[in-house]
A and B are shown apart, each in its own frame.
Chain A
Amino acid sequence: MDIDTPATRPPDLYGRPRGDSFMQKLAAFSDHAVTRLARRSTPPRRPRATEMPVIRELVVAAKHQEAEDVVSLRLAAPDGGVLPLWQPGAHIELHLPSGRKRQYSLCGDPADRHGYRIAVRRIADGGGGSAEVHDALGDGVRVAITGRPRNGFPFAAEASVLLIAGGIGITPILPMAREAARRGLDWRLVHIGRSRGSMPFAAELAELAAAVPGRVSIRPDDEFGVPAAADLLSSIPAAGAVYCCGLAPMIDGVRRAFGDSCASALHFERFAPAPITDGRPFELQLGGTGRVLPVPYDRSALDVLHEALPDLPFSCRQGFCGTCRVRVAHGRVDHRDRRLTATERAAGAMLPCVSRAPEGERLVLEV
Chain B
Amino acid sequence: MFRAAHAHPERPSEPLDHHDLVLQPRDVTFDWSTTPLHWLPGEPFATHTFDVLHLMLPELERWFVRTFEQALPLITDDRLREDVRGFIGQEAMHAEAHQEVLEHLLAKGLDPAPYTLQSEWIFRRVLGDRPELTRAATHAHLLQRLALIAAFEHFTAYMGHWILGNRHLDHTGADPAMLDLFRWHGAEEVEHRSVAFDLLVHLDPRYRRRVVGMLVTAPVLTRLWIRGVRFLMSADPELDDRVEVRFRDYLAAARKDLLPPPVSFTRSVLRYFRPGYHPTQEGSTQQAVAYLATSPAARAAAR
Enumerate chain A interface residues (CB-CB to B < 8 A).
1, 3-7, 9-15, 20, 22-23, 26-27, 30, 34-35, 37-39, 41, 43-47, 50-52, 54, 84-87, 90, 110, 146-152, 154-158, 179, 182-184, 241, 255, 258, 264-267, 270, 274, 310-311, 313-316, 318, 320-323, 338
Contacts and interface: CB of A to CB of B under 8 A. Distances in A.
B115 A87 contact: no
28 contacts: A6-B124, A11-B117, A27-B125, A34-B144, A35-B130, A35-B141, A38-B130, A38-B138, A41-B136, A51-B2, A87-B16, A110-B8, A148-B20, A148-B79, A154-B21, A154-B285, A155-B16, A156-B16, A184-B12, A255-B299, A267-B293, A313-B88, A315-B92, A316-B27, A320-B27, A321-B27, A323-B69, A323-B85
B200 to A, nearest CB: 10
Given A39-B134, A84-B6, 18 more contacts: A10-B117, A34-B141, A34-B144, A35-B130, A38-B140, A41-B137, A43-B136, A44-B206, A46-B76, A47-B201, A47-B202, A52-B79, A87-B18, A87-B20, A241-B294, A265-B290, A321-B93, A323-B85
B114 A151 contact: no
Query: By CB atoms of chain A within 10 A, which of B3, B26, B140, B204 has the most?
Result: B140
Contact of A5 (B80, B125, B134): B125
A267 to B, nearest CB: 5
Contacts of B293: 156, 241, 265-267
- Interface residues of B, dominant DSSP: helix
A241 B293 CA distance: 8
Interface in B53-93: 62, 65-66, 69, 72-73, 76-80, 85-86, 88-90, 92-93
Contacts of B79: 51-52, 147-148, 150
A313 B69 contact: yes
A146 B78 contact: yes
Nearest to B231: A13
B127 interface: yes
B128 interface: yes
A10 B78 contact: no
A78 B27 CA distance: 42
A75 to B, nearest CB: 17
B303 A5 contact: no
A211 to B, nearest CB: 15
B270 interface: no
Interface string B264-303: 0000000000000000000001110110011000010001
A157 to B, nearest CB: 5
Interface of B: 1-3, 6, 8, 12-13, 16, 18, 20-22, 24-27, 62, 65-66, 69, 72-73, 76-80, 85-86, 88-90, 92-93, 96, 114-115, 117-118, 120-122, 124-128, 130, 132-134, 136-141, 143-144, 201-206, 209, 220, 223, 227, 230-231, 234, 285-287, 289-290, 293-294, 299, 303
A156 B122 CA distance: 39
Contact of B294 (A43, A152, A264, A311): A264
A345 to B, nearest CB: 17
A50 B290 contact: no
Nearest to B296: A259
B143 A44 contact: yes
Contacts of B73: 310-311
A241 B286 CA distance: 13
Nearest to A42: B140
A6 B118 CA distance: 10
Contacts of B227: 13, 22
A154 to B, nearest CB: 5
A109 to B, nearest CB: 13
Contacts of B133: 35, 38-39
Nearest to B228: A13
| A-B pairs with lowest CB-CB distance, top 7 | A315-B89, A41-B140, A265-B293, A156-B290, A152-B22, A44-B204, A10-B117
B137 A39 contact: yes
A51 B289 CA distance: 25
Nearest to A54: B78
Contacts of A110: 8
Contacts of A150: 20-22, 79
Given A26-B220, A314-B85, A47 B16 contact: no
Nearest to B93: A321
A26 B20 contact: no
Contacts of A321: 25, 27, 88-89, 92-93
Chain B CB within 10 A, most for which of A13, A265, A321: A321
Contacts of B115: 13
B118 to A, nearest CB: 5
A14 B114 contact: yes
Contact of A323 (B92, B125, B285): B92
A322 to B, nearest CB: 6
